Structure 1
Amino acid sequence: MKLRRVFPLAGVSILALATASAAQDATISQTPGTIVLSPITLVADGQESVEATGGVVVTKQDIEALHPADVSELFARDSAVTVAAGSGQSKRIHVFGLEQSNLAVSVDGVPQFKDGWHHSGSNVIDPAFLKRVEVNAGAAPADAGFAAAAGAVRYETLGARDLLTAGRTQGGRVGLSYGTNGRGVSANLAGYGVHEGFDWFAMIHAARGDNYDAGNGDEIPGSESAVTGGLVKLGYEFETHRIELSYEHSRDDADRVARMNMDLSDEVFPLKITRDTLSLRYSSTAPTAMWDPEMRFYISRNKYTRPDFIPDRTSGDFAFEAQAVGGVMQNRFAMGPGTITTGIDWAYNDYKIDNFGDTDVRFHTTETMQVGAFVQGRFEFQNGIDLSTGARVDHHRYTDWNGLRKADSGVSVNGTVAYEVSPGYEVFAGASRTWLGYDIGEYGYLHARDSSTFTSPDYEPATATNYKLGVNANRGNWTGNLTLFDTRLDGLANAYFPILENSEEYRSRGVTLSGNYSWGSGRFGASITTAKLTFDGDELPPAGGEATPIGTVASLFVDQEIPQYNLTVGATLDMADRLSGDYIDDNGFEDHPGYGVLNAYAEWRPASYENVVVRLGVDNLLDKAYYERSSYGRNTERDVTPLYAPGRTVTLGLTMDF
């Protein structure tokens, strides 16, 4: 790591902690009669304001309005996040054009695996279980987890207390929907309750459908929905302690094409993808200024199996899986004008690839081990300055399929500072330098590699650098944000083998602008993001991988309540410009067409049955033929076919609480 880049940020962190300690006894004074507007803060209740620095928050209200069937619909209203088309397991999420595996992704605090294979999605989660999603784009806090290269994604799932109404100790929810254009039937059932010190939540979800048709009428083979999942949470509180045991399972089992995100051939083959996570969490129900602990231990497994696939082809039959054991122990305590979180985390990851004997090496196994210590301070000073800054030290060990072992340690630092220049207006700047350890890349590539495959003796840990600069506005019923960003990823894995070596620099730089306006019974929002994606200084073509061009993308949405009819209506318009230029043509791709797609919904709550919600949704109302930004482009030289998104799809759903 280049220390001259680390020392300045580390100095900011040390200075902030010292300033916070000195300010511990300070008080706030105001002139009598002064009207004080609600302040804008980058930190509140010990956490960053994600949206205030160009990130994305999908709230419970958003999820209830969108009723998303997949991650494309989950992030439909946020231009910073783009999702490729296809079936759920083929979708790849990109933030500012950078693939999600470059972010620290967690579900209820449990770290998720990086992407396993370039033709499958990364960290796909069933939206039916979700309560909230936060996407911290760019400089991430030290307690976000190890290897937060381009930020962090935090998924939070539902629990008993999220669904119980006032005065109730138990309840349930049932949801049922049917959709045209292959969407088919989707159903979920949940039961939850509390009794003395115990609480429980259990939910199952399943969706079954057929292949969908694109807006041009073509059927997309291997696109049928075939998801089954379950989530169980058991909690117990005694004295001042809380323990929660959680288990989550998901499975996608259907016939798919060989390359799910770029193949429109009619041949389909059986494919099964599963994810299992078991976690145990401890926290305090009566935290004090100096004792607000959290401990979490977890075991997780991702598995991908496609036997009897393509005869006489090394990219045919194979299976790969990743298993992890890890944990985190941390404590948050008050200091002066803010809080400081300190802790340690660790994770052991084991990867196994089985190609059923298609090469001279049937099994490839790889493992990594990470141990880290972190500190993150979050402060709101009296002079209008808000500061979030911290650091972490990690040790990382990597063992490859030939038994080669490499180990190293590194330091990561971050800082974000904001100043309210006038009531309701705030400027901010942020930066981070992150040590990523040894990036193993898309390890699933090993399925088609033989005994000549090896790790370069010069393979080094990867690093990331992030810069952000922007302004926020908050004038009561409207808010706005403008963020300029620059993210550089250096030394990631060149996973195209037969040599695992460091790749050149990936870079995403651009601007994102968002705003929201509320008038009580409704709200309107808009966001627009433009980014330039480069590799080793050259613009990237739409060829998937760690990064892909997004050009300029935008999203507009509106929600409106109509109380006299117990009705809520809304719509979302997603747009993208045309991608063209030498960087497209010179790599054999055709221009990436622009598009504008309109989705609409209506939700009705019968007056006599307030526990019942009937929802009618129409996706791609105008039946446009398009493929979403961050999808592969069309390349006739390499036989790459874009995977088109669904045409007009009408869904009728019913949800009932009891």
Structure 2
Amino acid sequence: MQRLSFPAMTGVSLIAMATALQAQDATISQTPGTVVLDPITLVSDGQESTEATGGVTLTQADLQALKPADVSELFSRDSAVNVAAGTGPAKRIYVLGLEQSNLAVTVDGVPQFKDSWHHGGSSFVDPAFLKRVEVEAGAAGADAGFAAAAGAVRYETLGARELLTDGRTQGGRASLSYGSNGRGVTASLAGYGVYDGFDWFAMVNTAQGDNYDDGDGNEIPGSEASNVTGIVKLGYEFEGHRVELAYEHSEDDADRPVRMNMNLEDAVYPLKLTRDTLSLTYTETAPSAMWDPELSIYLARQEYARTNFLEGRAGGDFSFDATTVGGVAKNRFDVGVGTVTAGLDWAYNDYSIDNFGDTDVPVHELETMQAGAFVQGRFEFANGIRLSTGGRLDAHRFSDWTGDRRSDTGASVNATIAYEFAPGYEVFAGASRTWLGYDLGEYGYLHARDSSTVTADGFEPATAKNYKLGLNASQGNWTGNVTLFDTRLDGLANAYYPTLDNSEEYRSKGFTLSGNYSWGSGRIGASITKADVSYDGDDLAPVGGEATPFGTVATLFIDQDIPQYNLAVGASVELADRLSGDYITDSGFAEAPGYAVVNAYAEWSPAQYQDVVVRLGVENLLDKAYYERSTYGRNLDRDVTPLYAPGRTVTLGVSMDF
């Protein structure tokens, strides 16, 4: 697989596009009575099936069953995704051992910022608003967005039209919960409706709590929940057209540690994080085979601000923020044997770092500009072959804090092919080569830097390569998947030192194995992921950042409905093996112990109040003291303690639709 070259993948893409266009004529001329094949496993609804290639999909039904309070609970049943402990400002998401900022992350199609600071979290998403989540690990489609180095994460939020049922024109949803162990009170309220061609949706969610204790009873400083999020969507449909204006705001304002992803000292200081996104989107409500467009423009801003910090230290008050404006224009063509999506996207990003520390450069400012063109085809052929392939061409410009400006252009290609060799069984293989432009890494690294900090003369655009090979099976009530993966990231930013330069290669290789069985009123599922993560050919120590040692992680879950009592119950187990070896201890870290964590829930809907749901959830039922694979490790040389996960936490909540 690794010998698959850039020209070879380009050739596959071109041949597939040509074949599909030829097949279109044959499809259009088919006579009535032609047998239409059932939807296939790999390619569905214009997107690759993420689960079919080792990724994660959470539907609205999954989210209703999970009712996650945060992103840790959101991905608690998926071994391929690991989330650090702490509250939102500390939560870093890793997919197959690679940090989320190495994936193309979108919320309702709007690209999200990369992580801005190595001690900060990588997710501002509030699960209360979500209706669907897809994590595409490895080779991503060209229409996933710019710089999809190791895959893509797509979050979709709720809206009015999918919530209104039985011909209703307006409705609402309210929920309130209280949790032990510092979780505190979480409340949300939503209202939505339609009138003539108009529709609206508005929702606010807040969580307020105290510091939690780990499984050993130790209080974790700065771990209190203190966030408010809100979203407003206004839509209008007329004569087959739809326009939607959306605004989202999230804010976390509380006392936090100096470094949010580790326990270095007990002192905490005020920290405020805000994120705002405004977008305008146009689509067709009755598209034709050749005209199914989507046009969007967006404006987003993300800010960090810490004031009243301890005087006399090298670090002090600081703030850094990023602003982006961009857009996407694309159209999906139905070519009979599949679809072809083609379009343009662009984004301008401006970064400002108000330097903490007493240096001769109080503020670092930098900017990037990207413009790209892409085409992605997804095809189902009569001989049992399914193919997703495409490419994109991007131009990227980078201007650093000294006024140094550089620009370059690069191409990306991808191909994933599957063959159903027997009913319900298919093998697949995929590969991609992605051009990432000038990677800025975590721009917060520029804190406390002086005028000696420069960009290296030889600083070049980064690239990524992905390979995957696997088998899918689906028979009756059960499904299974095994995926082998190999992801390589070359030339990412190395901002630890006075010179911004390219880093050596990060690599994650291993496998994921998953299976699910349903018996109508219940289901059981399991997944196991093993990833060997390295940097420059050597096993990686648990230092956080772009990648983390992963080892072997497994999950097991079961759900059961009990209709006669309007009751649903379920449980899940998260397991991880011990991380040990010279690559950890020689770097000054302690070996990471394994863990097994049990979570459970029960959900009841009173017979006389079908729109009311009462839920009792218990996280870390056995009160284990542990820290996730995505957490900065225990550093003996620096007396750093990992950010331990919460101990047993019991939450009782009620929600109501009206």
| TM-score, L = length of structure 2 | 0.97
Partner in structure 2 of residue 509 of structure 1:
509
Partners of 1:615 and 1:417 lie apart in 2 by 43
Partner in structure 2 of residue 42 of structure 1:
42
Aligned to 1:593, the other structure's residue is in SS state coil
Q: What are the equivalent positions in structure 2 for 1:454-533 lying under 5 Å apart?
A: 454-533=454-533
- Structure 1 residues 90 and 27, CA gap change in structure 2 (3 angstroms): same
Range with bigger deviation, 348-357 or 477-486? 348-357
Deviation of the 1:352 alpha carbon: 0.2
Q: Deviations over 1:172-224 (max 9, x none)?
A: 01100000000000000000000000000000011100000000000000000
Q: What are the equivalent positions in structure 2 for 1:235-250 lying under 5 Å apart?
A: 235-250=235-250
Partners of 1:113 and 1:410 lie apart in 2 by 21
Q: What are the equivalent positions in structure 2 for 1:515-554 lying under 5 Å apart?
A: 515-554=515-554
8 Å Cα contact 2:316/2:357 also seen in 1: no
- Structure 1 residues 456 and 43, CA gap change in structure 2 (3 angstroms): same
Q: What are the equivalent positions in structure 2 for 1:310-459 lying under 5 Å apart?
A: 310-355=310-355, 358-459=358-459
Q: Deviations over 1:407-455 (max 9, x none)?
A: 0000000000000010110000000000000000111011110110000
Partners of 2:382 and 2:162 lie apart in 1 by 35
8 Å Cα contact 1:573/1:598 also seen in 2: yes
Range with bigger deviation, 133-142 or 123-132? 123-132
Deviation of the 1:357 alpha carbon: 6.1
Partners of 2:389 and 2:53 lie apart in 1 by 14
Partners of 1:263 and 1:445 lie apart in 2 by 19
Partners of 2:644 and 2:107 lie apart in 1 by 29
Partners of 1:324 and 1:129 lie apart in 2 by 22
Deviation of the 1:360 alpha carbon: 1.1
Count of residues in Structure 1 that have an aligned counterpart in Structure 2:
655
8 Å Cα contact 1:71/1:124 also seen in 2: no
8 Å Cα contact 1:203/1:230 also seen in 2: yes
Partner in structure 2 of residue 643 of structure 1:
643
Aligned to 1:433, the other structure's residue is in SS state strand
Range with bigger deviation, 158-167 or 588-597? 158-167
Letter in 2 for 1:511: F
8 Å Cα contact 1:221/1:264 also seen in 2: no
8 Å Cα contact 2:264/2:639 also seen in 1: no
Aligned to 1:448, the other structure's residue is in SS state coil
Deviation of the 1:343 alpha carbon: 0.2
Partner in structure 1 of residue 234 of structure 2:
234
Partner in structure 1 of residue 58 of structure 2:
58
8 Å Cα contact 1:454/1:499 also seen in 2: yes
Letter in 2 for 1:566: N
Partners of 1:324 and 1:509 lie apart in 2 by 33
Partner in structure 1 of residue 31 of structure 2:
none
Partners of 1:14 and 1:408 lie apart in 2 by 24
Partners of 1:197 and 1:637 lie apart in 2 by 64
Q: What are the equivalent positions in structure 2 for 1:61-460 lying under 5 Å apart?
A: 61-263=61-263, 265-355=265-355, 358-460=358-460
Deviation of the 1:565 alpha carbon: 0.3
8 Å Cα contact 1:389/1:414 also seen in 2: yes
Letter in 1 for 2:395: H
Partners of 1:405 and 1:82 lie apart in 2 by 37
Q: Deviations over 1:604-640 (max 9, x none)?
A: 0000000000000000000000001111111110222
Letter in 2 for 1:240: G
Q: Deviations over 1:466-519 (max 9, x none)?
A: 000000001121111100000000000001131000000000000000111111
Letter in 1 for 2:279: S
- Structure 1 residues 527 and 37, CA gap change in structure 2 (3 angstroms): farther
Letter in 2 for 1:133: V
8 Å Cα contact 1:210/1:225 also seen in 2: yes
Partners of 1:27 and 1:282 lie apart in 2 by 30
Q: CA RMSD in A?
A: 1.9
Letter in 2 for 1:316: G
Partners of 1:214 and 1:241 lie apart in 2 by 52
Aligned to 1:480, the other structure's residue is in SS state strand
8 Å Cα contact 1:40/1:424 also seen in 2: no
8 Å Cα contact 1:113/1:123 also seen in 2: no
Partner in structure 2 of residue 31 of structure 1:
none
Letter in 2 for 1:144: A
Q: Deviations over 1:37-83 (max 9, x none)?
A: 96643112211111100010111122111111111100000000001
- Structure 1 residues 125 and 582, CA gap change in structure 2 (3 angstroms): same
Letter in 2 for 1:381: F
8 Å Cα contact 1:112/1:123 also seen in 2: no
Partners of 1:36 and 1:145 lie apart in 2 by 32
Partners of 1:329 and 1:274 lie apart in 2 by 28
Deviation of the 1:104 alpha carbon: 0.3
Aligned to 1:402, the other structure's residue is in SS state coil
Partners of 1:198 and 1:629 lie apart in 2 by 46
Aligned to 2:450, the other structure's residue is in SS state coil
Partner in structure 1 of residue 32 of structure 2:
none
Letter in 2 for 1:506: Y
Aligned to 2:368, the other structure's residue is in SS state strand
Aligned to 2:447, the other structure's residue is in SS state helix
Letter in 2 for 1:346: W
Q: Deviations over 1:213-247 (max 9, x none)?
A: 00000000000000101000000001011000000
Range with bigger deviation, 435-444 or 347-356? 347-356
Deviation of the 1:310 alpha carbon: 2.7
Partners of 1:237 and 1:312 lie apart in 2 by 59
Letter in 2 for 1:535: Y
- Structure 1 residues 356 and 493, CA gap change in structure 2 (3 angstroms): closer
Percent identity between the two aligned chains: 73
Partners of 1:120 and 1:332 lie apart in 2 by 37
8 Å Cα contact 1:435/1:463 also seen in 2: yes
Deviation of the 1:585 alpha carbon: 1.2
Aligned to 2:271, the other structure's residue is in SS state strand
- Structure 1 residues 549 and 4, CA gap change in structure 2 (3 angstroms): closer
- Structure 1 residues 27 and 343, CA gap change in structure 2 (3 angstroms): closer
